[in-house]
């Protein structure tokens, strides 16, 4: 058996970061200039030439033998040395953990934790290591921990990779505790699923937890690509004190609380990004942002999420949250589910920016009932499709005080309803309701809201250049709109 050197086809670079075209890789016994064999396949039956000549992209299939360490010298095509690294082990490049069995019945707790425990020491020598998990279902009965911080190397990188969400499953059977806790930083995980079975499904604990254990952001540079978390008793994903956490095509499915939960005690996690992530049928919020800032979710889906305790597909008290093209569909989207959650909201926010998106099967599309910090809404689409009763509000700012910084832009918003939206005050098809005494709100759109005393003192600008109106009391208390310019 042989193990990969840094990926299926290792790639090398010159000092400028360009691929080392036609470079050469020399391999020796550690600490010597005695040549040591590498292999062209994982079986270890066909030896590479020594040196290995790289292709035009600086790549080659290099499988290291097991048992001893290597010295690896990399040179360019002219013979100049690029790197000279000693003590490189097979486990320090890419390896399948010893003793794991993906048969859906063997307990892999000891084997997996032993592999994770070795990661830090490997990274401290080799700067990068990759655990490869072949297709299979790997049960573990004890919660697992990865602590990259133990390596003491801020430049190290750990990669944990499967063969796809439906092919590589790590299934936790522990009745309590978080399935996988990651601390430190610089961890990449991709193409696998963290699931639950047995006593776990009625127990407690979250799926993947990122936890620095500090009150300042120190968990940083995490990348998750194509990772799913399913059937966890509590949160699917739980990110504590995190910054620079990036998720792409990740999933939280049928979890007992929130799908993706970011929170940070007393400080603001920064620069978190979710791209094309999805939360399905979670009992809490699909996406929940507690006290975080400067986070962006693009093409985020929350389908069938929410409950009486957490009545929102997306919930945030983050003033810097940006949602671009969200898709929030209510509880009734769940197959066979007739439950109607009173007050179910698509997005319950205190501020931030929402651009585009679809909100359907809800009582409220976008809801803000505490405080509106800088708030920008552009082009949301509201529909009542499949909801058992009419959507009450497209956008509701009810008990907000003050909202002088709110900016509502709904110029091209529209509704496509199978049932009428009740009590509507529309701006080009999207509704704005603002509670009493909310002077200073700035509303921009096509078609002024209907006269209402609650609008008194507020400004409205339509799409005609230079057209500005103010709502004033004209004697009837209706709050009629009067042109200023």
What are the Cα distances from residue 322, in Å, to 204, 302, 318? 31, 15, 9
Mind listing the pLDDT tens digit for each residue in 245-298? 899 999 999 999 999 998 865 444 567 889 999 999 999 999 998 865 678 999
- List the CATH code of the domain at 2-88: 2.170.14.10
The region of weakest confidence among 34-48, 121-135, 302-316, 347-361 is 121-135
Task: Tell me the whole-structure pTM to 2 decimals.
Answer: 0.70
* CA 138/CA 123 separation, integer angstroms: 24
Mind listing the pLDDT tens digit for each residue in 39-68? 887 666 788 999 999 999 888 888 877 556
Mind listing the pLDDT tens digit for each residue in 332-376? 544 444 455 666 788 888 778 888 888 887 877 887 765 555 667
Site of tokens 């399935």: 179
* CA 55/CA 7 separation, integer angstroms: 15
Q: Which two tokens stand for residue 361?
A: 């099967």
Site of tokens 């509106």: 372
- The CATH fold assigned to 96-298 is Pectate Lyase C-like (2.160.20)
* CA 481/CA 306 separation, integer angstroms: 38
The pLDDT of 128-137, averaged and rounded, is 84
**Which residues are CB-contacts of 346 (< 8 A; sequence separation ≥ 6)?**
302, 312, 313, 314, 326, 328, 330, 359, 362, 364, 365, 366, 367
pLDDT at residue 438 tops 50: no
Residue 118 host element (H or E) = helix 109-126
* CA 39/CA 18 separation, integer angstroms: 25
Question: What is the C-alpha radius of gyration for the chain, rounded to an integer number of angstroms?
Answer: 28
* CA 153/CA 130 separation, integer angstroms: 16
Q: What is the largest CA-CA distance in the chain?
A: 99
* CA 263/CA 272 separation, integer angstroms: 11
Instruction: At 86, give phi and psi (nearest 5°).
Output: -115, 155
* CA 29/CA 23 separation, integer angstroms: 20
What HEC string does 230-262 produce? ECCCCCCEEEECEEEEEEECCEEECCCCCCEEE
- Pairwise pLDDT comparison (474 vs 169), residue with the higher score: 169
Site of tokens 């809201």: 449
Instruction: Count CB-CB contacts under 10 A for residue 81.
Output: 10
Q: How is the chain split into domains, by residue range?
A: 2-88, 96-298, 336-485
The answer to whether 343 touches 373, Cβ cutoff 8 Å, is no
- Tell me which DSSP letter residue 331 carries: G
* CA 481/CA 472 separation, integer angstroms: 7
pLDDT at residue 26 tops 90: yes
């Amino acid at each position: 058996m042989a193990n990969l050197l840094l990926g299926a086809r290792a790639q090398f670079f010159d000092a400028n970061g360009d691929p080392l075209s036609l470079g050469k890789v020399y391999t020796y016994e550690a600490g010597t200039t005695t040549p040591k064999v590498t292999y062209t396949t994982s079986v270890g039956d066909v030896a590479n030439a020594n040196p290995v000549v790289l292709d035009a992209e600086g790549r080659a299939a290099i499988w290291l033998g097991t048992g001893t360490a290597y010295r690896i010298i990399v040179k360019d095509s002219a013979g100049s040395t690029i790197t000279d690294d000693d003590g490189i082990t097979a486990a320090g490049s890419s390896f399948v953990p010893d003793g794991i069995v993906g048969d859906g019945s063997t307990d892999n707790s000891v084997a997996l934790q032993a592999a994770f425990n070795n990661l830090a020491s490997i990274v401290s020598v080799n700067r990068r290591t990759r655990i490869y998990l072949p297709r299979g279902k790997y049960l573990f009965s004890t919660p697992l921990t990865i602590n990259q911080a133990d390596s003491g190397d801020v430049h190290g990188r750990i990669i944990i990779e499967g063969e796809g969400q439906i092919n590589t499953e790590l299934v936790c059977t522990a009745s309590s505790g978080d399935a996988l806790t990651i601390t430190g930083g610089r961890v990449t995980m991709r193409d696998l699923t963290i699931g639950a079975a047995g006593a776990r499904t009625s127990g407690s604990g979250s799926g993947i937890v990122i936890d620095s254990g500090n009150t300042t952001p120190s968990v940083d540079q995490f990348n998750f690509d194509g990772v799913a978390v399913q059937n966890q008793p509590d949160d699917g994903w739980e990110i504590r004190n995190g910054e620079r956490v990036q998720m792409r095509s990740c999933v939280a499915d049928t979890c007992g609380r929130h799908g993706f939960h970011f929170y940070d005690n007393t400080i603001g996690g920064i620069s978190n990004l979710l791209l094309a992530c999805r939360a399905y049928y979670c009992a809490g919020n699909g996406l929940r942002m507690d006290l975080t800032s400067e986070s962006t979710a693009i093409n985020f889906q929350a389908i069938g999420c929410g409950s009486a305790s957490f009545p929102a597909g997306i919930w945030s008290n983050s003033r810097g949250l940006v949602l671009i093209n969200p898709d929030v569909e209510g509880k009734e989207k769940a197959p066979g589910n007739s439950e109607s959650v009173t007050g179910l909201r698509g997005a319950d926010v205190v501020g931030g920016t929402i651009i585009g998106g679809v909100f359907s099967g809800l009582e409220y599309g976008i809801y803000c009932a505490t405080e509106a910090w800088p708030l920008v809404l552009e082009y949301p689409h509201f529909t009542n499709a499949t909801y058992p009763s009419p959507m009450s509000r497209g956008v509701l700012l009810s008990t907000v005080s003050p909202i002088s910084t709110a900016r509502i832009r709904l110029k091209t918003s529209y509704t496509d309803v199978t049932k009428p939206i009740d009590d509507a005050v529309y701006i080009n098809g999207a509704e704005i309701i603002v509670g009493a005494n909310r002077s200073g709100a700035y509303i921009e759109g096509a078609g002024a809201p209907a006269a209402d005393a609650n609008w008194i003192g507020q400004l409205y600008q339509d799409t005609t250049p230079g057209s500005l109106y103010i709502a004033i009391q004209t004697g009837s208390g209706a709050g009629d709109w009067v042109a200023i310019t």
